[in-house]
Structure formats: C-alpha cells, structure tokens
Amino acid sequence: MAVEHTSPLEQFAIQRYIPLHFLGLDVSFTNSAFFMCLTVTAITALLLAASYGGKMVPHRIQSVAEIFYEFIAGMIRDNVGSAGKEYFPFIFSLFMFILFGNVLGMLPLMEFGFTFTSHIIVTFAMALVVFIGVTVIGVRLHGKKFLSLFVPHGVPKVMLYLLVPIEVISYVIRPITLSVRLFANMMAGHTMLVIFSGFVVSLGGFFILPGLVPLAATTAFMFLELLVAILQAYVFTILTCIYLHDAIHLH
C-alpha cells in the first residue's frame, strides 16, 4: 500500500466552513475567521472571569489578567511615556489578540489548529492599521511639523539630501517589516514542527528507539515555538509603542 504524503504547508490552507458570497465577493466564514473569533472569545472570557468577583487578594485568573495589564501598562509607560495612556486599550487589545492567536494556533497543531498570524494578509492588515493610526496621531498633534520626523537633528545640510529619503523609505516600509517579521516566524516555526512530527510517526511507528530522537526534538521545538509565539507578540507590540513614541514626541 502506498504511503500518503502530506505537505507541511497544508496546515496554512484556508478552508471554507460556511460558503458565502456577496456582490460577487467571496466572504465565506473560514478557519481563519473561526480562530479569530475563538481568540476574541478566549480573551473576553479571561477578562470577564478576572473581573467577576474581584478581590484585594486576587484569585488565579485575576492574577493572570493583572499580569497582562501591568505588563502592557509598563511597556507603554517605558516606551511612550504618560502621553501613551490614552492608547492603552488599543495596544493591550493588539498584544492579547496576537498572543492568543499565536498560542491557540498550536493547540492542536496540524489536523484542527490554525494560526492566522502565519498569513501575511492578516499580519499586514494589523501592521497597516498601526501605521495609519500612528501617522494620523502624529499629523493631528503636530500638523506640518510632523515632517521634521524625517530630518535627523545635528546633521549637516548637505547630508540631508541623502538621509531624508532614507528616513522616508524606512518609515514607509514599516508595515512590511512589522508584518513580515510576525508572519515569517510563525510560519517557519509551525512548518518545522510538522516536519519533525512526521519523523516521529515514520520512525517511531516501526523502531521505538529511533523515534525517540525526533520525539525529543519535537518536544523541544514545541517549547521553543511557544517562546517564539510569546516573543513575537511582544516584539509587534513594543515596536508599535516605539512608533507611537516617535509620532508623539518627534524624536
């Protein structure tokens, strides 16, 4: 009997759960949309459970929610300053959405799980919202003075002809670098996990000892991927704070 081989990239395929079309557009409810809804539901459930019957001595769920709250509040305070307080709800929501999306996509990995942050269209959409929002905030606060963001201080005028275009280009490509970093790390990590999991099945199914090696490697990679999932949510959020700092303080 021939052995059926599956590609490790199949886990990223979009599947239609509820086919829908509107004005000639495909607006089907997909596995990506399902896991986004699941992520929002999980975050909402955590925060509601934490806020229900809150006590001075917090229970476990309340402690977890407070850790997330204090972590993001500290990140904003350290990287944006007091002026960033009003943007806390957005940054907190962004961090929680990416974090829970990354983690939930690992459970389980292949047959039923789906990591929507492994799709560039999703990460680019989030990065574009951050880019447009930060730019609007900068223009609203400073008007034409916002353009001084692209003029380095203390640089000879003759160098500005070279540095200003570089600053403009580096600013414009922020959505690309921000989105690709998250998408590439999640896609590469999940692909590697599926490949090593395949080694466990193919080797462990016939030879117990050879299968232990890829099993140990897969377990180690799962912990590493979990760390990457948390780290990428942190990186995306702290870069958002840095961009917000630049828009507010222009330096």
**Please, which pLDDT band fits residue 75 given cuts at 50, 70 and 90?**
very high
Q: Which amino acid is at 69?
A: Y
0.75 cut: is pTM over it?
yes
Residue 24's Cβ-count burial label (10 Å; 0-12, 13-18, 19+) is: exposed
Would you say residue 250 has pLDDT above 90?
Answer: no
127 within 8 A of 178, measured Cβ to Cβ: yes
Which of these ranges, 22-26, 55-59, 144-148, 165-169, has the smallest mean pLDDT? 55-59
Neighbours of 130 (CB within 10 A): 23
3-state secondary structure of 201: helix
Which of these ranges, 3-17, 22-36, 168-182, 221-235, has the smallest mean pLDDT? 3-17
Please give the share of the chain, as a percent, with pLDDT higher than 90: 47
Q: How far apart are CA 18 and CA 25, in angstroms?
A: 14
47 within 8 A of 65, measured Cβ to Cβ: yes
**Please, which pLDDT band fits residue 3 given cuts at 50, 70 and 90?**
very low
Of 32, 46, 31, nearest to 92 by C-alpha is 46
Would you say residue 10 has pLDDT above 70?
Answer: yes
Residue 193, pLDDT score: 76
**What residue spans define the domains of the chain?**
8-249
**Please, which pLDDT band fits residue 31 given cuts at 50, 70 and 90?**
confident
Of 140, 146, 11, 159, nearest to 87 by C-alpha is 140
Query: How far is C-alpha 62 from the chain's CA centre?
Result: 24
Would you say residue 1 has pLDDT above 70?
Answer: no
Q: How far apart are CA 73 and CA 59, in angstroms?
A: 20
Residue 28, pLDDT score: 85
Residue 157, pLDDT score: 82
Across the chain, mean pLDDT equals 85
Q: How far apart are CA 24 and CA 68, in angstroms?
A: 42
DSSP state of 4: P
Would you say residue 211 has pLDDT above 90?
Answer: no
Of 232, 135, 238, nearest to 180 by C-alpha is 232
DSSP state of 57: S
